């Protein structure tokens, strides 16, 4: 069994996993970080988005062993005392209904700002959300929340 | 997904050795196709050899050509200033693959080696007269794509870089499947001046291919209307729940016209 060590939300963690263990399984089952969700499990819905070495990826399609030596940030790691500006914006703008897709939406939104800057047009946001699905169809408020959250980041 | 032995070799030489010694090993780059395929149990390799780091990431872009190391992600290609300047149609194509998270992981070498019939990069290779460099030799794109998920790659042969010729003008037009973002049909038109015009079609048949009749028509007149005279047969088009063969044949002409119009 491969031994993996990584830095998750600023803390060194290590453990053994199988070759086939997915990053999302390692986070949820080994580390108990259940904020990262498994939605479709086919890399389409984006509920499992986390950051690996600063880039948003789908943790359901990433092998835990491949993340050995990486820095991983999950939804649990974005708040610092108070809510992250993007989390706060989702709260303010009612950017969620059931909340299942929200961790992935927020991790995708933070990556969007890191890549495209703080001034995001509605077009850019909608285009960049291609890989995140909300089944409550709350996109309208999600887009508003990301636009507002981006400005405050 | 069945279990396997995971390896992360330092270089391609070591990767080849591990593949040779394994019972049924496969190389993995970004894993954006391989991992879902293993999850569906359509693939059950004994060993997965992660070559993303060994293949390396890097881009060289000049007015005449763009060279991309095999481990370079789609996001890196899409946002590279040199490619955006010298070969904007290629940067645009990379930016249309999958979604942002997939583009952060998926690599050019993996996409080309996999040769999915609906992948985007094979059309770029054909339209931009690519040279596909492996650990053993250099293969012209025209001789590389052999059929459904089939390429000229031999056992333990690994793509190390891809060299594209920058066209004088060109564009890639894609009709994406609304769920998967794979191309239902994608057409890449590239005008290489005295080296000729190339039209490459993906998503339509079992493998990306060139449409020589369209190339001839556009050589005479580089305008969308020139394609009205070219009949696209539906005989060997893919026919599935997403689109019928006739619909795909129709889309080939529409996408080709859009690509010509966008070429400027």
Within this chain, do residues B140 and B184 fall inside the same structural domain, yes or no? no
Mapped onto helix, strand or coil, the DSSP state of residue A150 is helix
Q: Which residues of B156-167 are buried (b: 16+ CB within 10 A; e: fewer)?
A: bbbbbbbbbbbb
Per CB-CB distance under 8 Å, the chain B contacts of A18 are 3
Within this chain, do residues B140 and B125 fall inside the same structural domain, yes or no? yes
For chain A, what are the domain ranges? 3-76, 85-152
CATH of domain A3-76: 3.10.20.30
Within this chain, do residues B60 and B107 fall inside the same structural domain, yes or no? yes
In a domain, B90, yes or no: yes
Q: Do residue B8 and residue A18 have CB atoms under 8 angstroms apart?
A: no
pLDDT in tens, B54-109: 999 999 999 999 999 999 999 999 999 999 999 999 999 999 999 999 999 999 99
Within this chain, do residues B130 and B153 fall inside the same structural domain, yes or no? yes
Q: What is the CATH number of the domain that holds B61?
A: 3.30.465.10
Per CB-CB distance under 8 Å, the chain A contacts of B96 are none
Class of domain A85-152: mainly alpha
User: What ipTM does the predicted assembly reach?
Assistant: 0.95
Q: Do residue A112 and residue B100 have CB atoms under 8 angstroms apart?
A: yes
Within this chain, do residues B202 and B105 fall inside the same structural domain, yes or no? no
- Among residues B165, B196, B217, the one where a domain terminates is B165
| Residue A73, H or E segment | strand A71-73
Query: Residue B24 has which token pair?
Result: 């049924």
Rg value, chain B, Cα:
18
- Among residues B165, B200, B218, the one where a domain terminates is B165
Within this chain, do residues B192 and B259 fall inside the same structural domain, yes or no? yes
pLDDT tens per residue across all 264 residues of chain B:
999 999 999 999 999 999 999 999 999 999 999 999 999 999 999 999 999 999 999 999 999 999 999 999 999 999 999 999 999 999 999 999 999 999 999 999 999 999 999 999 999 999 999 999 999 999 999 999 999 999 999 999 999 999 999 999 999 999 999 878 899 999 999 999 999 999 999 999 999 999 999 999 999 999 999 999 999 999 999 999 999 999 999 999 999 999 999 997
Within this chain, do residues B143 and B85 fall inside the same structural domain, yes or no? yes
Distance CA B103, CA B207 (A): 22
Query: Residue B16 has which token pair?
Result: 């080849």
In a domain, B42, yes or no: no
Within this chain, do residues B75 and B120 fall inside the same structural domain, yes or no? yes
In a domain, B239, yes or no: yes
Within this chain, do residues B188 and B208 fall inside the same structural domain, yes or no? yes
Within this chain, do residues B188 and B119 fall inside the same structural domain, yes or no? no
pLDDT in tens, A93-125: 999 999 999 999 999 999 999 999 999 999 999
Domain that holds residue B105: 56-165
| Residue A12, H or E segment | strand A11-16
Q: What is the CATH number of the domain that holds B244?
A: 3.30.390.50
Q: Do residue B100 and residue A130 have CB atoms under 8 angstroms apart?
A: yes
In a domain, B131, yes or no: yes
Q: Do residue B100 and residue A128 have CB atoms under 8 angstroms apart?
A: yes
Within this chain, do residues B193 and B217 fall inside the same structural domain, yes or no? yes
| Residue of chain B minimizing CA distance to A51 | B101
In a domain, B87, yes or no: yes
In a domain, B51, yes or no: no
Per CB-CB distance under 8 Å, the chain B contacts of A22 are 35
Q: Is A128 exposed, middle or buried (0-12, 13-18, 19+ CB in 10 A)?
A: buried
In a domain, B4, yes or no: no
Of the CA atoms within 13 Å of residue B34, those in its CB half-sphere come to: 27
The number of folded domains in chain B is 2
Flag whether pLDDT at A1 surpasses 80: no
- Among residues B140, B165, B190, the one where a domain terminates is B165
In the numeric block, the tokens 């996999």 are attached to B114
Task: Specify the pLDDT at position B110.
Answer: 97
| Residue of chain A minimizing CA distance to B101 | A57
């Amino acid at each position: 069994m491969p031994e993996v060590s990584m830095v998750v939300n600023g803390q060194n963690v290590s453990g053994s996993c199988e070759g086939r263990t997915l990053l999302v399984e390692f986070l949820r089952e080994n580390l108990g970080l259940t904020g990262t969700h498994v939605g479709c499990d086919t890399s389409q819905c984006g509920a499992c988005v986390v950051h690996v070495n600063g880039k948003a990826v789908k943790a359901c399609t990433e092998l835990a062993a491949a993340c050995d030596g990486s820095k991983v940030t999950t939804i649990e790691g974005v708040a610092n005392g108070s809510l992250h500006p993007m989390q706060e914006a989702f709260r303010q703008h009612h950017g969620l209904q059931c909340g299942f897709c929200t961790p992935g939406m927020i991790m995708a939104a933070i990556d969007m700002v890191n890549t495209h800057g703080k001034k995001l047009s509605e077009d850019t946001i909608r285009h960049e959300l291609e890989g995140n699905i909300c089944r409550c169809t709350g996109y309208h408020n999600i887009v508003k929340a990301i636009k507002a959250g981006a400005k405050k980041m | 997904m069945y279990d396997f032995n995971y390896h992360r070799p330092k270089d391609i030489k070591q990767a080849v050795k591990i593949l040779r010694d394994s019972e049924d090993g496969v190389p993995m780059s970004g894993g954006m196709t391989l991992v879902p395929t293993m999850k569906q149990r359509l693939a059950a390799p004994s060993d997965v050899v992660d070559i993303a780091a060994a293949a390396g990431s890097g881009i060289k872009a000049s007015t005449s050509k763009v060279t991309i190391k095999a481990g370079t992600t789609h996001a890196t290609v899409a946002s590279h200033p040199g490619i955006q300047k010298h070969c904007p149609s290629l940067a645009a194509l990379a930016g249309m693959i999958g979604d942002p998270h997939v583009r952060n992981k998926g690599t050019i070498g993996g996409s080309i080696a996999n040769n999915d019939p609906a992948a985007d990069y094979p059309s770029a290779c054909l339209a931009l007269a690519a040279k596909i460099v492996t650990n053993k030799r250099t293969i012209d794109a025209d001789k590389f794509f052999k059929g459904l998920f089939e390429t000229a790659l031999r056992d333990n042969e690994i793509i190390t870089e891809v060299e594209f010729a920058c066209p004088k003008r060109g564009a890639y037009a894609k009709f994406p499947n609304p769920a998967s973002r794979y191309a239902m049909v994608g057409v890449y038109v590239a005008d290489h001046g005295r080296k000729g015009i190339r039209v490459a079609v993906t998503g339509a048949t079992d493998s990306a291919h060139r449409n020589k009749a369209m190339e001839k028509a556009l050589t005479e007149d580089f305008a969308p209307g020139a394609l009205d005279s070219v009949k696209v047969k539906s005989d060997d088009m893919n026919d599935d729940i997403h689109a019928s063969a006739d619909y795909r044949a129709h889309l080939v002409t529409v996408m080709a016209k859009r690509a010509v119009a966008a070429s400027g």
